[in-house]
Amino acid sequence: MTTLQQTLDELCVNTIRTLAIDGVQHANSGHPGLPMGAAPMAYALWRNHLLHDPAAPSWPNRDRFVLSAGHGSMLLYALLHLHGYDVTLDDLKSFRQWHSRTPGHPESFATAGVEATTGPLGQGAANSVGMALAERMLAAHFNRPGFDIVDHHTYALLGDGCMMEGIVAEAASLAGQHRLGKLIWLYDSNDITLDGPTSLAFDVEDVAARFRAHGWHIHKVEDGDRDLAGLERAVAAAKAVHDKPSLIVVKTTIGYGAPHRQGTSEAHGSPLGPEEVAAAKKAFGFDPAQSFHVSPSVRAHFKLGAQRGVDAHAQWKRLFETYRAAHRELASEFERRMCGELPADFAVRCASELPQWEPGSGAATRDAGGKAQNALAAIVPELIGGDADLSCSTKTSLTKEVAFSAEQPSGRNLHFGVREHAMGAIGNGMLYHGGVRPFVSTFFVFSDYMRPAVRLAALCKLPLIMVWTHDSVAVGEDGPTHQPIEHLASLRAMPNLRVVRPGDPNETAQAWRLALESDTAPVALVLSRQKLPTLLGTKEKAREGVARGAYVLVESQAAAPSVLLIATGSELQLAVEAHKRLSGEGLAARVVSMPCWATFAAQERSYRDSVLPPNVRARVSVEAGTTFGWERWIGDCGVALGIDQFGASAPGEKVLAEYGFTVEKVVEAARRALANAAVRGA
């Protein structure tokens, strides 16, 4: 490499650094330290290895790059701008501002070229494992001799904070288990976190040894601040390893180039300040009076680097057209999957193949869900997923499919092991990648372990399917540690998350269909452990009713109801039985099944009023969980039958009865609601 080329490389690296510190300083907010220290490794990767096309950010066979240490977002924005993505200098100047395309942490829905929304540390790392899994699965399904149409790498950049998060250990362990050789992580090891040196809390562990134990290949670069050649060799060596994921441990100096703050926590999460910015620019050979400066030679050099990806994209398109001529059906399926579309015959086949249950039969909704899921798996070949070592309990195994493994990459059953934290984020990563529709599963009470990933799925409109079983105190003898109480309410509070708690087998089948038809929101299917009866009317009404979130299951015998019984899940049967008793007493009751609050709330006002007439103020909610939030639907005259304390260890039927979930208690609640309405003049 010539001296001139070395100088140009250094100029490019320092341009990344100065753009980052200018963006942070201009916003008076942000994290300059990571971009300054990690710029060389990012440059070495993007300039000479990463295959991407700025004009086609969604090209299916591009390499993926995830900034797991998302607080260093100005590093990514500078890279995107310099490589020609739709990120302008004005966007860099709008860092962290209202409606900016350069928000504080990378957002996949806001900025072209951002592969994953990485806020909570470690989520992006786990996302990258999901991407690598999706690449492996799609390659096994679609590639044919001479046609490797799915063949790319996934890279992620992590910091010390990521390495401390437990989710990273879970994700890394699973990646090693499956020998994901096209997954490469770059670890910005700068020994500094926000509070000070990592010696405060992270000084004993040997990260490289931990990853070796996880089954990873390890590379080290001791001078990540300057050794561009060593960084390039490390990435090339990692790409040459095909049977293990690779970790490149890069020793860097946080805030490199800032004379008074480099190597300190002061460079981590605050602007450097005008004087320190000027001093850093002088150290880099830049004019302190200029901001957001990019020389023509730097622009040309980055454009030349991006051209590798443009050429690779053009070559791939030619390959795919030849592939289409040889394998027309596979090519069409690949395009459909990457567009996120369901098969054209989905609705027709659902009508005939989705299971139905007759009144008088019954099943736990987890069992009904398993049957529906397997029927849908035959219709939707991209439906894949698994559970946290619980398929025998959650009933989420695809019974006609094999388990995914390094030896069986075409398998559709994923064994995540007891790794709930990583499982949700890996599912999100598979959706970011595209081409697959993942589901993940565990007990409902352990949804807490998945919550950061669930929240990011909702934020990013990722249609992740979550199957959460053992949905109430009916779990029984396992006791309060395993009995969800507040979970329905807390998850319903999350925007853009559809929480669906079906009341019988037919509602469950339609809930699964709703989950697959959802393309802009994650769906949580909350299912029972105990057997539930199939209710009269659900076979005919559940299709539209579940799709609308709530519907009238049993109408009052009178012209208009005087009391509404609103129920979800296993408690729906109690409302139906209470209706019979109230009708026998001459009271006009209507039973409303409300499996999904969010979907019902999104319906037009006329439909909502037809289900819950505003003039009927006597209302009862029946749900084995906290009553918090039910006032929205039952109003000031209503009675909420629920559980506002933790559960107890005893047989499930006993626990339900002790907490008031009996037909008699529902009837009593209806009478109280009627009395309340009468007193208040309804």
Q: Alpha-carbon distance 526 to 442, whole Å?
A: 10
Q: Alpha-carbon distance 47 to 565, whole Å?
A: 64
- Other CB atoms closer than 10 Å to residue 144's CB: what's the count? 11
- Look at residue 340 and give its three-state secondary structure: coil
Order of all β-strands in the sheet with 589-593: 551-554, 589-593, 563-567, 619-622, 639-641
Q: Are 184 and 153 in contact (CB under 8 A)?
A: yes
Tokens 């490389």 belong to: 9
Q: Alpha-carbon distance 154 to 151, whole Å?
A: 10
Q: Are 74 and 19 in contact (CB under 8 A)?
A: yes
- Other CB atoms closer than 10 Å to residue 242's CB: what's the count? 9
Q: Are 214 and 30 in contact (CB under 8 A)?
A: no
Report the C-alpha dihedral over residues 270, 273, 278, 280, rounded to 10 degrees: -30
- Residue closest to 492 by CA, chosen among 567, 595, 593: 595
- Residue closest to 22 by CA, chosen among 196, 214, 274: 274
Please, what sign has the CA dihedral across residues 512, 518, 519, 524?
negative
- Look at residue 193 and give its three-state secondary structure: strand
What lies within 8 Å, CB to CB, of 251 at 6+ separation is: 189, 190, 220, 221, 222, 223, 224
Q: Are 39 and 13 in contact (CB under 8 A)?
A: yes
Q: Alpha-carbon distance 193 to 329, whole Å?
A: 52
Which residue type is seen at 281? K
- Look at residue 251 and give its three-state secondary structure: strand
| Residue in 232, 266, 420, 623 annotated catalytic | 420
Q: Are 481 and 648 in contact (CB under 8 A)?
A: no
Q: Are 578 and 481 in contact (CB under 8 A)?
A: no
Helices (H), 493-616: 505-517, 538-547, 572-584, 597-601, 605-611
- Main-chain dihedrals φ then ψ at residue 539, nearest 5 degrees: -60, -35
DSSP tag of 218:
E
- Look at residue 13 and give its three-state secondary structure: helix
Question: What would the DSSP string read from start to end of 500-528?
Answer: E--SSHHHHHHHHHHHHH-SSS-EEEE--
Active site residue 10: no
- Look at residue 470 and give its three-state secondary structure: coil
In the numeric block, which tokens belong to residue 679? 């007193």
CA atoms within 13 A on the CB side of 598: 21
Q: Alpha-carbon distance 530 to 125, whole Å?
A: 37
- Residue closest to 446 by CA, chosen among 470, 411, 415: 470
Q: Alpha-carbon distance 32 to 71, whole Å?
A: 9
Q: Are 593 and 571 in contact (CB under 8 A)?
A: no
- Main-chain dihedrals φ then ψ at residue 469, nearest 5 degrees: -110, 180
DSSP tag of 535:
P
Q: Alpha-carbon distance 115 to 619, whole Å?
A: 47
Residues with a catalytic annotation lie at: 420
